[in-house]
Copies of this chain bind each other. A is one copy, B any other.
Amino acid sequence: MENYYAPLDAAFHALADPTRRAVVSRLTKGPAPVKELAEPFAMGLPSFMKHLRVLENDGLIRSKKIGRVRTCWVNAERLNAAEAWLSEQRALWQARTDRLADYVETHLSGSMDDAG
């Protein structure tokens, strides 16, 4: 089921929901069984399982059933890809605002010399 669309599409799609983000946050601290993951949420297990399936299909988490217990863990690679994309955008944006700040500073210090 995974990778039915581009990795970044999938990562951002999965993260566009507060329940799914909370599950990812919990799993960054270590693997957990479904029952424990579901506990903090005021929703039925079927609704919660839908969120887990979205997370797994979108590649942000992995799971394995051993006996009667399904355990989930985070797929750091997919999470890192999403962060890397956003960092890159911030770097571009930052470079632009830095150049703008340099320009303003040069211009302002020029004006102050003129005034002084």
Chain B contacts for A79, CB-based, 8 A: 86, 89-90, 93
- Counting every copy of the chain, the complex holds 2
A92-B9 contact, Cβ under 8 Å, with A82-B86, A87-B83: no
Could you say which of B6, B12, B15, B89 contacts A28, with CB atoms under 8 Å apart?
B89
Size bin of chain A's contact surface: 20 to 34
Given A30-B96, A83-B83, decide whether A89 and B16 contact each other with a Cβ distance below 8 A: no
A25 at the interface (CB under 8 A from B): yes
Confirm or deny: A80 has a beta carbon within 8 angstroms of a beta carbon on chain B: yes
Chain A interface (Cβ < 8 Å from any Cβ of B): 6, 8-10, 12-13, 15-18, 21, 24-25, 28-30, 74, 76, 79-80, 82-83, 85-87, 89-90, 92-93, 96-97
Query: 10 closest pairs, A vs B, by CB?
Result: A12-B16, A28-B92, A83-B86, A13-B16, A12-B15, A28-B93, A12-B12, A28-B89, A9-B16, A76-B93
